[in-house]
Amino acid sequence: MTPLLSKVCPCFFPEQIEPARPLEEIEQSLLSQEASDAPVPDWDGFIDWAQRQQGTVNPFVLLFGNKLPAGDALDLGSGTGDNVKLLLGSRWSVTAVDANQKAIEVLKRIQSPKLNVIHSTLEEFQTDKKFSLILAFNVLGFCTADKIKEIWGRIYDALPKNGHVICSFPTLGRSAYSKWALNREEIQQFFIEKRFKIVEEIKLNDPFTAHPLVFVLKKI
Ligand SMILES: C[S@@+](CC[C@H](N)C(=O)[O-])C[C@H]1O[C@@H](n2cnc3c(N)ncnc32)[C@H](O)[C@@H]1O
């Protein structure tokens, strides 16, 4: 953890390392969660609530995204677009993707020639474009377990070399809504080690978030 982060966000603390399971077992565990009967969150209700919050600043986008030279960014699961606005304000061009119609209407109200809004699930979303920054914040756990590998592969393909991802992951026992969850070691092993350099990893000490594991990654 950077000293800077611990100063601005006192909610971070190091997580105990749990032993990682073999890859095959982790994969099996993901697939067995495919049939998860996790309830689908009330996304319309979430969008109403998020609008009432009138924009919250994401410290990770602020601290890490702002250090990168502005270019093309992709925000997966944009919600009401707090991160989109943050990036647009820092001169990024942004493609915002969300599955919820209400979110899309809110996103389309953001007036910027540098914003492209796409109504799609992450399971279906495909692009040929490259993005030097991809955000997947508070969304991956809501995607179908058996599509996660595919989605993660597409995130990798949409990055140029040295491109960055700022993302958060669900972890075990944290949310009834997550369609899958792995411990931190498993996430590193399953998704990250081979393809990305971990620039930063943070565990949020927030009992309400379904996605307490935050990673800043660089494609190498
Ligand atoms: C908890 S909000 C996160 C919003 C924003 N990324 C943030 O961190 O503030 C999750 C958003 O992801 C969208 N979402 C959920 N499942 C999705 C999926 N499978 N594909 C695309 N968007 C999805 C929801 O509509 C909602 O707007």
Check whether 25 has a pLDDT greater than 80: no
When pLDDT is averaged across residues 9-35 and rounded to a whole number, the result is: 51
| Protein residue with least CA distance to atom 10, ligand 1 | 139
pLDDT in tens, 66-92: 889 999 999 999 999 999 999 999 999
Which residues, 6+ apart, have CB-to-CB distance to 5 below 8 Å?
12, 59, 63, 200, 202
Using the mean position of ligand 1's atoms as its centre, give its distance from the Cα of residue 78 in Å.
Answer: 6
Is the predicted pLDDT of residue 1 greater than 60, yes or no? no
- Ligand 1 centroid to residue 140 C-alpha, Å: 8
User: What's the confidence (pLDDT) of residue 77?
Assistant: 98
Nearest residue by C-alpha to atom 27 in ligand 1: 79
144 lines ligand 1 (CB under 6 A): no
Atom nearest to 121 CA in ligand 1: 20
Determine the Cα–Cα distance for residues 12 and 72; give it in Å rounded to an integer.
Answer: 29
Q: For residue 45, is pLDDT > 70?
A: yes
Q: Distance (Å, rounded) from C-alpha 128 to C-alpha 179? A: 27
Superfamily of domain 24-207, CATH level 4: Vaccinia Virus protein VP39 (3.40.50.150)
| Spacing, Cα 177 to ligand 1 middle (Å) | 12
Confidence label for 123 from pLDDT (cuts 50, 70 and 90): very high
Give the atom of ligand 1 at the shortest distance from the alpha carbon of 100.
25
Radius of gyration from C-alpha coordinates of the chain: 16
Global pTM exceeds 0.85: yes
DSSP string, the chain: --HHHHHH-TTB-PPPPPPPPPHHHHHHHHHHTTT--PPPP-HHHHHHHHHHTT----HHHHHTGGGSPP-EEEEES-TT-HHHHHHHHTT-EEEEEES-HHHHHHHHTS--TTEEEEE--TTT---S---SEEEE-S-GGGS-GGGHHHHHHHHHHTSPTT-EEEEEE--TTS-TT-S----HHHHIIIIITTTEEEEEEEEB--TT-S--EEEEEEE-
Q: How many CA atoms lie within 13 A of 24 on its CB side?
A: 0
Least confident of 56-60, 151-155, 192-196, 199-203: 192-196
Locate 24 and state its tokens. 């095959």
- CA–CA dist 30, 64 (Å, integer): 30
For ligand 1, atom 26: residue with the closest CA = 79
CB count within 10 Å of CB 218 equals: 16
**Atom in ligand 1 nearest the alpha carbon of residue 43:** 25
Q: Is the CB of 180 under 6 A from ligand 1?
A: no
